[in-house]
Structures are given as C-alpha cells and as structure tokens.
C-alpha cells in the first residue's frame, strides 16, 4: 500500500502538491527546513518551527538516543555507481514517495538501501527534508539507520542501512509457498520491538513525534528478524503545552488510520496506537489490513475482527491458520486483548504505547515451545478444544469449551488478567532486586566490620 489519504481511494482525497504546500505553511508543526539541503542544521543545534500564532517551538534533544546530524552527503554519481545505475536487478520495491534499490558503496563496500524520491511536485522534496531531519536526529535500535543523503540538483536520495529480510509485510502477505511462516515467538518479538520504536518517538522525543504511517510495509527486518521502523516522510511533531492534538491534512494508508484522524484531521499519539493495533492484528491473524480478495464483510481487518472480540469461544478463529495451532492459547487471548484495546473507536480509551510495550515484552518473554504439550490446550478424539486454567495463578481452574456454549469473556477481562500477570512478574523482579541490594549492603557492612577489627 502506498501513502495517500486515509479515506478509500475512491474518495476525492488525493494529494495535491500545491495545496499541501500551502497547507503546510499554514499549519506547520514540524521543524522548518530550507529547501536547500545545505541549510540542514548540524552538530546538535535546536530546530524551531512557527506555530499558527507565530511563536517558535523547539525540537529538543530526547533524553537519550538523540545526537548530532551525522548523515553523510553523497554525490549522485556515487549512488548511481553503487546501484549499477539503478539497474532493475537492484530494485527492491516502491513506497509512497519513491523507489528503493540495493547498492554497495565503492568507498566502504557497505551494502545499503538507496531510496530515490519521486521528483514530481513539492511533496517529494518536503518528504525528503522531513525524513533527513527525523532520522538524523532520532537514533534507536528499533528505528532504521540513515547513513546519508544526496541532493545534487533536483535529485533527492536517501541512503539507509540494508535490511536483508525485507519488510514485515513480505513475511505476512507475500511469502513464497516454499517458505515457513513466522512462528508465534517471532511474531511477538517483532511486535514488541516495533512497539519500542514507537514508544521512543512518543515518549523520548520532545516534543513527541507522531509517526502517522505505521504499517507492516514500514517495519523492516534485519538478519535476526529485529524490527526497525522506516519511512518517516509523513512524521509530524506532536502537540506541546496544553494542546491535545495537532491538526493536519489527513494522510496515511487506508486501513491503518485511526477513525478520529480520518474524520477530523486531529492527530495524537493515540492515532499511532490505533495503527499499531491494526499491525498487531495482522501479526496474529495473518490477514491484510485491507484485502479486496476476501469475501464481503471480511475485507476490512478491524471490521471483521471486532465482533469476534466479544466472544472468547471465537478467539481461536482469529489465529493465523499458517501457525497450524502451534501457539499458546492463553497468550493468544492476551495478545488479542492488547490488540482490541489499541483499536478502540475512542482514542481516550486506547492505552499509551508504553503500556503496550510492557504487555508485549511480557508476551515476548513467554517463549512457546511447540514440541511440548500446551497445558492449557488439549484436543480430545472429537477435536474439541478445551482450555484449562491451572493453579499457577492463571485462573480459576475451570474449563472452557471454545466450540461449546460456555460464557463469553470480554477482551477487557483478558486484559485485566494480563495486567495481573505483568504486575506479578514485576513484583517478583523488584523483590529479587531488593534482595540482591540487601545482600550487597550486608556484605559491605560485614567487610567494613572485619577491616575495622583487623586494624584495631
């Protein structure tokens, strides 16, 4: 999916570069950067932008991970040579604002990804400047690393670290038949890592950065399936002071946009949380956010999944069939509870991304071993599925027939159970730290007493 208005492509909401430029001048909430790339700041300068009232807002350094603008400047001929003059064999894919090629830098031998922006219109140039700014300033293990850029004449290119495993979208929706689907553990690991990248943008940057285009194709994977967020051209600086939102033209990808943003243009960090929930549902279900090839009523992932959230007996239907049942059932319920909270219609009822990170870190650390029996899921000879809540604090010990007529459980109840487990894990960890600290103090005290006695 490319970048366009969050409304269906049939709606008359296509980007007009001239109109967008005028709109940006009126409602600009991201740093003002000269069209001349040589005007980009260097070495930790503060960047300012004018609000509607004319006052300046500074893009301050985050509390960690934000350093100097150290991106290298490339000549166009260097990148042409690196990609064999942008040969079709080096073509990796096409995004909302340009084509991406694989290249090797002659100077260092480093393999890189080179994005050549579309030169038509002002929007491509604006997107280029925003991306250089954001990725030069913001550094985190879950954000793609910008190596450099090129601004020769009318050429606009960005050079990133190469992510050899492609995008999450590739592994969920474009996987060759001979390739194994992502297993449960890997899906939770990817979700947790992507959430950490979003948490950095929301909570460490000051003012916060709203990603605005969180989707599976923008999550890239390295050799170890470590996720990194990419493509920051639509990113916006979030509200400051007593403001609750940023007003902007509705842009993004249909199927991922939060409903309040699509309807009003009011953007908050909770808009990103909604988009994260859609991607998390993709990871759980294996379905696309929007799939026109699915039967009517199942083409929109969120619209299809929401009714199923109301009945725990139907939760199993939400699991990706390619997992072939190899997942911990209780963890599936917990993951669905997180997803359901993220895609709430009302932004105020969605969790903060920091809370999502806490929940998903817990799930990612509960490694599932498919070679062992899942004590919470058993199949009898008729194939009926039973859920057993054990005596480890995980429930009442009662059984639930998912294909029978037991009581319905809401996602909020599942979320409550998940939060209780997370709090228990946190309490255990804090108790261990307290115990270790106490033992260390005792050891130091005993050592001091021993030294005192020896000198006396």
Question: Which residues does the annotation place in the binding site for ATP?
Answer: 115
The single residue listed with the structure tokens 């932008």 is: 49
The token pair that represents 441 in the structure block:
């103090």
* DSSP bridge partners of 98: 117
| 128 contacts: CB under 8 Å, gap ≥ 6 | 97, 117, 149, 151, 156, 158, 233
- Angstrom CA distances, 242 to 16, 27, 47, 237, 434, stand at 32, 17, 21, 15, 38
Catalytic residue among 213, 320, 374, 421: 213
Burial (Cβ within 10 Å: 0-12, 13-18, ≥19) of residue 135: buried
How far apart are alpha carbons 221 and 242 in whole angstroms?
Answer: 37
How does DSSP assign 319-382, residue by residue?
A: S-GGGTT-S-HHHHHHHHHHHHHHT-SSGGGSPPHHHHHHHHHHHHHS---TTS--TTEEE-TT
How far apart are alpha carbons 156 and 221 in whole angstroms?
Answer: 24
- Angstrom CA distances, 405 to 61, 312, 313, 408, stand at 55, 11, 8, 9
Instruction: Assess whether 152 carries a catalytic annotation.
Output: no
Please give the backbone phi and psi of residue 331, each rounded to the nearest 5 degrees, phi first. -65, -35
Residues annotated catalytic, as ranges: 213
């Amino acid at each position: 999916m490319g970048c366009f208005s969050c409304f269906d492509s049939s709606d008359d909401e296509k980007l007009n570069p001239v109109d967008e430029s005028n709109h940006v001048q009126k409602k600009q909430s991201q740093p003002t950067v000269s069209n001349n790339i040589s005007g980009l700041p260097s070495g930790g300068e503060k960047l300012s932008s004018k609000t509607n009232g004319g006052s300046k807002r500074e893009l301050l350094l985050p509390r960690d991970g934000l350093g100097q603008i150290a991106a290298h400047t490339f000549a166009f001929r260097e990148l042409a040579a690196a990609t064999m003059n942008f040969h079709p064999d080096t073509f990796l894919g096409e995004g909302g604002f340009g084509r991406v090629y694989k290249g090797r830098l002659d100077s260092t031998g480093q393999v890189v990804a080179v994005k050549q922006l579309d030169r038509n219109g002002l929007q491509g140039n604006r997107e280029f400047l925003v991306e250089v700014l954001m990725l030069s300033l913001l550094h985190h293990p879950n954000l793609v690393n910008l190596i450099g850029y090129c601004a020769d004449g009318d050429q606009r290119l960005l050079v990133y670290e190469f992510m050899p495993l492609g995008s999450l979208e590739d592994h969920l929706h474009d996987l060759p038949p001979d390739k194994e689907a992502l297993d449960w553990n890997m899906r939770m690991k990817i979700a947790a890592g992507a959430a950490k990248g979003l948490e950095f943008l929301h909570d460490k940057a000051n003012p916060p950065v709203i990603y605005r285009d969180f989707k599976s194709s923008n999550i890239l994977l390295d050799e170890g399936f470590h996720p990194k967020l990419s493509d920051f051209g639509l990113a916006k600086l979030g509200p400051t002071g007593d403001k609750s939102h940023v007003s902007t033209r509705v842009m993004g990808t249909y199927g991922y946009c939060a409903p309040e943003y699509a309807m009003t243009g009011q953007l908050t960090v909770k808009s990103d949380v909604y988009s994260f929930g859609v991607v998390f549902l993709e990871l759980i279900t294996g379905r696309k956010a929007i799939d026109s090839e699915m039967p009517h009523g199942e083409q929109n992932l969120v619209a299809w999944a929401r009714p199923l959230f109301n009945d725990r007996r139907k939760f199993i239907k939400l699991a990706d069939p390619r997992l072939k049942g190899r997942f911990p059932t209780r963890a599936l319920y917990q993951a669905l509870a997180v997803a359901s909270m993220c895609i709430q219609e009302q932004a105020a009822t969605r969790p903060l991304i920091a809370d999502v990170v806490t929940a998903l870190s817990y799930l990612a650390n509960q490694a599932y071993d498919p070679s062992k029996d899942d004590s919470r899921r058993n199949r009898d000879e008729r194939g009926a599925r039973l859920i057993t809540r054990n005596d480890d604090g995980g429930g009442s010990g009662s059984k639930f027939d998912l294909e029978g007529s037991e009581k319905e459980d809401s996602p909020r109840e599942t979320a409550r159970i998940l939060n209780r487990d997370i709090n228990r894990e946190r309490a255990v960890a804090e108790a261990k730290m307290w115990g270790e600290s106490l033992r260390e103090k005792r050891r130091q005290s005993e050592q001091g007493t021993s030294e005192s006695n020896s000198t006396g």
